[in-house]
Amino acid sequence: MSRLHYIGLDVHAGSIAVAVADDEGVRVLGKIEHDIPKLKKLLARVGPPASLRLVYEAGPTGFGLCRGLRGDGYVCEVIAPSLVPHRPGDRVKTDRRDACGLAELSRGGLLQAVVVPEPEREALRDLVRARESAKAWEKKARQQLDKFLLRHDRRPRDKMTKWTHKHMAWVRAQTFTDPTQQLVLNEYLIELEHQEQRVQRFDTSLEEAAARLPEVTQKVIHALTALKGIRFLSAVSLVAELGDLMRFGHPTQLMSFAGVVPREHSTGDSVRRGSITKCGNTHVRRIVGEAAWAYSRERAAASKVVRSRREGLSAQVVQIAERADQRLHKRYWWLLKRGKATNKAVTAVARELLGFVWAVGVQTQMEQAAA
């Protein structure tokens, strides 16, 4: 068997710096154009694909390079940048030094790889994130229109919920004597309608994309909606971001993946814990953070809508969801009675909610595997 060569790649949009670490030490192979055929030609000087172990950091260039290399028989991993060790006193950073560092750390087994999603799941994730961006632009358009009307003391006399049909009818009925201000109002309305239509198109596309998913994935999405605070959109987003929940051996691994575990600095007899690390998937953290508010209500029992979403699910999944109702509601109010701030109590509930998300997803996948 040929010896192994550990290849570090510092990947950019237009270039790739290549370094190798093996029995001969660590050395730079060169810096080439971002082109897979040229990269393979350079790697052929080191050894056959089976003897190479390639790594590069996850970044804006995506997973195309990894998939292209794996398709040609190379062993390639994408590394989590936040978990790459760094020397405290190192103040020199270049592409070649970064490539050498990755190669050396790979040889020592000190790098943490991320899961490369399948193209279908990555496409779903792109759709979910695009919808999230459109929702943010819709919120921005609403804020601009709302503050414009407020600056000119245009407030409805009757109490009404903002952005309902009644409220929008009132907004459209507003007129200004100054043609410039009327133009501004019209442009704000046009932009808001444009963003609302974008969100509606994304919602329709998500429903169509979810219908094309494998049956087991559709079952997981349906099962996740059994949890309070998680409806179809949140369930699809969680599946798109997390993928196969069985890859997490324990729910604490999922909590760490989302960055909702507390910081800790303990030494000797001193134990100090702080706020959550936020070193993880921000999209998952946002979803469970919003869903956790559903357990802050006065009653722990599920609503009629939630009970209807649980119809057709297995008794085991429903039991997990009902246990979440009681556990998380009790947890929230117990933390408040201890004097914890509301946002801290919700964060703690969100962390435990991820554990129930894991339990529901794994139970559903096991049921589908046994069917």
pLDDT at 1 over 80: no
List Cβ<8 Å contacts ≥24 apart for 229-232.
229/290, 229/291, 229/292, 229/293, 229/294, 229/295, 229/353, 230/287, 230/291, 230/357, 231/309, 232/207
Predicted confidence at residue 89, as pLDDT, reads 85
pLDDT at 280 over 90: no
Compute the distance between CA of residue 36 and CA of residue 268 in angstroms, rounded to an integer. 51
Block residue for tokens 């040229």: 38
Predicted confidence at residue 152, as pLDDT, reads 96
Compute the distance between CA of residue 315 and CA of residue 273 in angstroms, rounded to an integer. 38
Stretch 41-56: mean pLDDT: 96
Higher pLDDT: 69 or 269? It is: 69
Predicted confidence at residue 94, as pLDDT, reads 95
pLDDT at 212 over 60: yes
pLDDT at 71 over 90: yes
Alpha helices in the chain (DSSP H): 36-43, 64-71, 95-107, 119-151, 165-172, 179-211, 215-224, 232-242, 251-258, 282-291, 304-309, 315-337, 342-370
Tokens of 356: 């129930």
DSSP string, 87-107: -TT-----HHHHHHHHHHHHH
pLDDT at 8 over 60: yes
Provide the mean pLDDT of the chain: 95
Tokens of 262: 């507390």
pLDDT at 268 over 90: no
Confidence band, pLDDT 50/70/90 cuts, at residue 229: very high
Compute the distance between CA of residue 185 and CA of residue 255 in angstroms, rounded to an integer. 45
DSSP string, 279-324: -S-HHHHHHHHHHGGGGGSS--SPPHHHHHHTTTS-HHHHHHHHHH
Question: Of 64-68, 83-87, 92-96, which range is least confident?
Answer: 83-87
Confidence band, pLDDT 50/70/90 cuts, at residue 227: very high
Cα of 204 vs its chain's centroid, Å = 21
| DSSP-assigned beta bridge partners for residue 273 | 264
pLDDT in tens, 189-205: 999 999 999 999 999 99
Contact partners, residue 261, CB within 8 Å, separation at least 6: 252, 255, 276, 277, 351
pLDDT in tens, 143-160: 999 999 999 999 998 889
Predicted confidence at residue 264, as pLDDT, reads 86
Predicted confidence at residue 3, as pLDDT, reads 86
pLDDT at 14 over 60: yes
Block residue for tokens 């279908």: 120
pLDDT in tens, 233-265: 999 999 999 999 999 999 999 999 999 998 888
Predicted confidence at residue 281, as pLDDT, reads 93
Stretch 217-235: mean pLDDT: 97
Tokens of 288: 């469970």
Compute the distance between CA of residue 338 and CA of residue 56 in angstroms, rounded to an integer. 46
pLDDT in tens, 306-341: 999 999 999 999 999 999 999 999 999 999 999 999
Predicted confidence at residue 2, as pLDDT, reads 60
Compute the distance between CA of residue 256 and CA of residue 356 in angstroms, rounded to an integer. 14
Confidence band, pLDDT 50/70/90 cuts, at residue 270: confident
Predicted confidence at residue 346, as pLDDT, reads 96
Going by their DSSP bridges, the two strands 52-57 and 75-79 should be labelled as: parallel
Name the residue type at position 275: S
